[in-house]
Chains A and B, each alone.
Chain A
């Protein structure tokens, strides 16, 4: 059974850097085709894809946020870390991590429960 769980601060001040950790179990990021992606959802708004890291260290970022994002993986710890610099109130959202399979159509399944990050204005 695959599970993922996000962890990190619930409150971040403007201009600070956000660091979120996705801790997963039930799969390995050493396995060919496997990836872990991040998606966020501002309150009452749409899902927005942020980034993904694959088993072969390939990283992909949303073009609109690329300059602010870094995604890394620690295969031995079964963790993926996402950092986002220069946080602003518009970045207030629930941040989800999810398992992806590159050669399986790259859908997100399953998802973590999400973690709400608030940036005061």
Chain B
């Protein structure tokens, strides 16, 4: 069982907006540690999508955005496209574990 909790799956039609939640606790997200998001296309390694809660690396479309509040964070994807179909993972740091922690991953299906 992952330290950070994500919904197993979400779906949306092309052009729609979807959000993926990432819920932690007072030893990780709630303690002020940053949340990062990764996109993992089938059969490939994860790729950094959002860092520091709401920052996009160069090359990531502005359709992707992140936010954080309290012990939770969210990834929003607007203008859904077929190519967005992938697994999405959140990551933070946990002071109790003294290391990185991940969410269970969320599979996004574009209908």
Contact = CB atoms under 8 A, between A and B. Distances in A.
21 contacts: A39-B102, A46-B105, A47-B91, A49-B102, A60-B98, A60-B99, A61-B99, A62-B97, A105-B51, A105-B52, A106-B34, A106-B93, A106-B100, A107-B34, A107-B51, A108-B46, A109-B48, A109-B57, A110-B47, A110-B48, A111-B47
The contact size tier of chain A is 20 to 34
Interface of A: 37, 39, 45-49, 52, 60-63, 96, 104-114
A110 B45 CA distance: 9
A109 B104 contact: no
Chain B interface mostly: strand
Interface of B: 2, 34, 36, 38, 44-48, 51-52, 57, 89, 91, 93, 97-105
A107 to B, nearest CB: 4
Contacts of A104: 51
